[in-house]
């Protein structure tokens, strides 16, 4: 099951996100996920595990478990490399052991002080605030992303954005020669962001939901947030379908025409997540889920680490 992007390429509606994955377990996890049926993997330079993902993909391809052309691999440009996009992309390709990416995203709409290709820190200034580079505009960044496609030096099939709001997305549409194929954002039942999702879809931009389960225990520990998986309405719907709450939430995301990339390190969860393609929620239940929205962000809270709130 896939969504067709605005450039004609298709993107599987469910993938595996690899943020905060243990490096030692990642290789087996990815190979297991491919055996289950996953073909879409969401990576990033900042996740610091592209090399481990690359080892797993290489082994899977060489052993004949999967063909490269059947995979959809995403990775992301980190904030420190906005002025070095070609080099950063090539660096990621080398680590991933790939000749091309299926999707390359601008991870955040901010350029910060360069600290070396692939050095994915978040340098702070003397006041303890994120050291933002005011010499590189998002428009300049985007045109360099476009060069990856038009120059043919790196075979990046699609380019996109991540963590962009409506206004930044609108601006990107205005100055782009190649329209962003994807905007990857946090969205889940407690943070539905209907205006942003609808705007993107209206203008041919596919929305990928990172944190599609609201982060669950991981974000509760990291950010002190509340998970939608404990919501009584969602639990009731799950009982109706004899599914887990996570399966219901992922299916809801797919039925609103977004791509979901849940993260898990457990084999049984991988299997459960992939089975969301096997059932469908009734419209009445989709409407019930619409009613639990709290406009509640659970992830990517930069003020805790960067001394600045990018979403203020």
> Active-site residue numbers?
47
Task: Give me the torsion for CA of 259, 88, 115, 183, rounded to 10°.
Answer: -20
265's tokens: 């390190």
Tokens 């205005």: give the residue: 174
The encoded tokens of residue 23 equal 């490096």
Cβ proximity of 182 and 11 under 8 Å = yes
First to last CA, the chain: 36
Encode 80-117: b = buried (16+ Cβ within 10 Å), e = exposed: bbbbbbeebbbbbbebbbbeebbbbbbbbbbbbbbeeb
82 has binding-site annotation: no
Distance CA(54)–CA(65), nearest Å, equals 15
Q: Regarding beta strands 10-12 and 16-17, do their DSSP bridges make them parallel or antiparallel, or are they unpaired? A: unpaired
In the structure encoding, which two tokens stand for residue 84, read together? 């070095």
Query: What residue numbers does the annotated binding site for substrate cover?
Result: 107
Binding-site residue set: 107
């Amino acid at each position: 099951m896939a969504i067709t992007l605005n450039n004609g390429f298709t993107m599987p509606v469910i993938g595996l996100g690899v943020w905060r994955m243990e490096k030692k377990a990642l290789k087996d996890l990815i190979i297991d996920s491919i055996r289950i049926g996953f073909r879409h993997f969401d990576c990033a330079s900042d996740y610091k595990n592209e090399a481990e993902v690359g080892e797993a993909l290489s082994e899977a391809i060489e052993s004949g478990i999967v063909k490269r052309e059947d995979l959809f691999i995403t990775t992301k440009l980190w904030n420190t490399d906005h002025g070095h996009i070609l080099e950063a992309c090539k660096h990621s390709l080398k680590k991933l052991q790939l000749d091309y990416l299926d999707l390359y995203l601008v991870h955040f709409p901010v350029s910060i002080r360069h600290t070396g290709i692939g050095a994915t820190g978040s340098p702070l200034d003397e006041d303890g605030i994120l050291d933002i580079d005011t010499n590189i505009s998002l428009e300049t960044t985007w045109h360099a992303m476009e060069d990856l496609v038009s120059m043919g030096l790196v075979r990046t099939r699609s380019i996109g954005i991540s963590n962009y709001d409506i206004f930044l997305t609108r601006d990107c549409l205005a100055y782009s020669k190649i329209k962003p194929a994807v905007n990857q954002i946090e969205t889940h039942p407690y943070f539905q962001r209907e205006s942003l999702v609808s705007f993107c879809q209206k203008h041919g931009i596919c929305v990928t939901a990172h944190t599609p389960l609201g982060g669950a225990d991981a974000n509760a520990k990291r950010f002190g947030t509340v998970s939608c998986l404990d919501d009584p309405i969602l639990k009731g719907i799950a009982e109706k379908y004899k599914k887990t709450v996570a399966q219901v939430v992922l299916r809801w995301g797919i039925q609103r025409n977004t791509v979901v990339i849940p993260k898990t390190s457990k084999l049984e969860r991988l299997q459960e997540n992939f089975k969301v393609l096997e059932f469908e929620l009734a419209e009445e239940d989709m409407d019930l889920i619409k009613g639990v929205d709290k406009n509640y962000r659970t992830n990517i809270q930069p003020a805790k680490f960067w001394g600045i709130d990018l979403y203020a």
